[in-house]
Amino acid sequence: MITDITINANTRGAAGKSDARRLRAQGLIPAAVYGGGDEAVAIAVSAKEIANILRSDTGHNTIFKVALPGGEPSTVIIKDRQVDPVKGRLLHVDLLRLSLTEVTRVSVPIEIVGEPIGVKLEGGILDLQMREIEVECLPGDIPESLTLDVANMHLGDHLTVADLVSDRTKVKLLADEHQVIAGVLAPRLAEVAEPTTAIEGEPAAAEPEVIKKGKTEE
């Protein structure tokens, strides 16, 4: 989704952990802008502003502008990001320059709508095999999500990429139309072992010995 957001950025020459720590102390994170026929540029951007974009409805598919001192703002999209696995804070972002007249490739989330009949009335379990899908389209046509209506699914039914709701004249889905996205499965039954009946004339199997830890009685 194209927005009117513009983030101010500064170029950076240094690299490494010490530079990253210095930037984070100022509320910034290292980033790179590349693509669009121009050279890649190392920059520093506001961690808070990037986090706000990622938390928005359009998330990493938000189209915004990055302005560098003395230059024209570049239209970009967040192509990749690094997050601290422990603290959850942003460490680095890659920004891809976009041309609004050229097709681009992005991943779009799949939105599940409704509760399947097979789950609500037949005791089944909804099994989701895809959470997002890659698409190609013009930047202005990037959808926030693609909808999959599962309300009419019965036990044993499944829905595929072909069932996604989208404007196929504007958005090309980069997955096999027969690829399964969701299915309603029967719950797995726990296997209960039946007791073994001793055959007449043969000794019954001995009970397994249970070894207990602790002091042995004399």
What is the spatial order of strands in the sheet that 104-113 belongs to? Answer: 146-149, 104-113, 132-137, 172-173
The torsion angles phi and psi of 162, rounded to 5 degrees, stand at: -65, -20
Distance CA 69, CA 7 (A): 11
Helix (H, G, I), strand (E, B) or coil at 85: coil
Nearest one of 103, 155, 174 to 164, comparing CA atoms: 174
Q: How many CA atoms lie within 13 A of 102 on its CB side?
A: 11
Report the number of distinct structural domains present in the chain. Answer: 2
Q: Which domain holds residue 50?
A: 2-97
In a domain, 217, yes or no: no
Q: Are residues 20 and 59 in the same domain?
A: yes
pLDDT in tens, 17-76: 778 888 888 999 999 999 988 889 999 999 999 999 999 989 999 999 999 988 889 999
In a domain, 76, yes or no: yes
Q: What was the pLDDT predicted at 14? A: 65
Q: Read off the pTM.
A: 0.74
DSSP label of 18? H
Q: Are residues 123 and 172 in the same domain?
A: yes
Q: Are residues 93 and 145 in the same domain?
A: no
In a domain, 215, yes or no: no
Q: Are 44 and 28 in contact (CB under 8 A)?
A: yes
In a domain, 179, yes or no: yes
How wide is the angle at C-alpha 5 spanned by C-alphas 37 and 67, nearest 5°?
A: 45
Q: What does pLDDT average to over the chain?
A: 85
In a domain, 206, yes or no: no
